[in-house]
Structure 1
C-alpha cells in the first residue's frame, strides 16, 4: 500500500471514528476514560488525542495538557473540543499538536504523565513510542543514580523527592483462546478498514519489554459492542534507572 493510500485509509477511519465515538462512550468508554486520568496532576502528554473526548475528564490538578494527534480531521475536532473545555472554565491549558508517538514534542523529563488511550494498536513502531514516553517522563529520585546519597537528600522534601512520572493506558488487546485466534485471522482486514489498528496486539508484553512495570495493569472486558478485544487499563512506571 502506498503512503497516500495509507493516509486516505486513516482519514476514512478518522471520519468514521468521530461518528461512532459518542455511541462507544455511552457503552462504557466514558467511565473508562475518567478512570484513565483520575488522580493526575501537572503536565500531561496525551498521545493520540483523537477528537479530544478525554479532555473533559482531566482533574483540576492537571494544569497543562499537550495532546498529540497526527490525523488532520481528528486534530481539528480536538482543537474545537479544547476550546469548548476552556470556555467552560477549565483552568488547564490544552495544546493540540501535529506530531506522532515516535517523536513526542516535549523535552526530557517534562511530563508528569503520558496517557495512551486507544492508540498503541495503530502506532507503527510501538517500542519507539514507549521509549519516547519514558524519555519525556519526569524522573524521580529512584531514577537518578546516587541521588539518595547526596548530602542532605533525606532532609530536603520537595518536588525532587516525588516518584517519577507514570504512563496511563487504556488499550484494547488480544483476547485469549479461541477469540484471540479469530482476531489473528481477521487482523489484516481489520487493519485495512481501521486505520492500521492491530486487534491482536499484546500490548502488555510490549510495555514489559520497554522497561515498564506492568504488575498493576488490569484487563477488563470491553463494552458489549466489541466483545472480541478486552481492555488493558491502569498506571505504570518505568523500571530501573536512567543513565546519568
Structure 2
C-alpha cells in the first residue's frame, strides 16, 4: 500500500515538474489549450498542463533584420543595388503566432518587396540625397502591413547603394564641374567686392586730399619695414600744381610777345 502511494506521489511530482516553465523577462508564452488559443503568460515561472496545453515562446526584444541587396530600377531608368536594415519587435505575441505562419520570414519578404517598390518610384538623385524621406516611407508601408500580425516596425535605414561604374564616373564628373563652378562664382564675387571697396575708397579720397597723403605715408612705413636698399618716395601730385601753373603762365606770356 505504501509503495503504491509512493508511486502515485512520484507520478504527480513528475507531472507537476514537467508542466513548470521559466520565461525570461523578454519572453512570453503563447498557450494553446486543446488547440484553442488561451491568454499568453509570463514572464517568470508558469505552469502548462502536460498533454493538454502547448506553449510557444515569443521573444519581445527588438530584432535587427538585414535586408540583402535588391536590384532596383529607379524612376529615371538607372539600375542600382540597394540594401537596408530593418528593426522591429513583437507587441502582441498571440497575433504574431495566429495571424501569420512565420512572422520573421514574412517581415523579411515584405521589406524586400517594399524596398524595390519604393525605389522604383524614386529618381536616382532623390535616392542618393533624401535617404531620410525614403526610410520613413518604407517604414510606414511595412509597419502598416505588419500591424495585423502584432509586429511593430520601429526603424528602417538604407545601408548601401551600389551604382554601376559608368554612373559613378558620371556623378564624379558632375560633382567636379559643380565644384569648379562654385570656385569661379566665389572668385568673381570676391573681385566684385574688392572693386566695389576700391571704388568707395577712391571716392572718399577724392573728397579729402589729406587722406591720399596719409596713404602715401603708410606706404612709406611699409616699405621701410622691409629693409630694402632702395626706397621709392611717392611725391604727392598736389605739390607739382604750382610748378605747372607757373609753366603755363610763362608759356602764355612768351606766346603773346611776337604779336606786340
Tell me the TM-score normalised to structure 2 length. Answer: 0.17
Greater RCO between the two (CA within 8 Å, min separation 6)? 1
Structure with more of its chain in strand, by fraction? 2
TM-score (norm 1): 0.18
Who wins on radius of gyration, i.e. which is larger?
Answer: 2
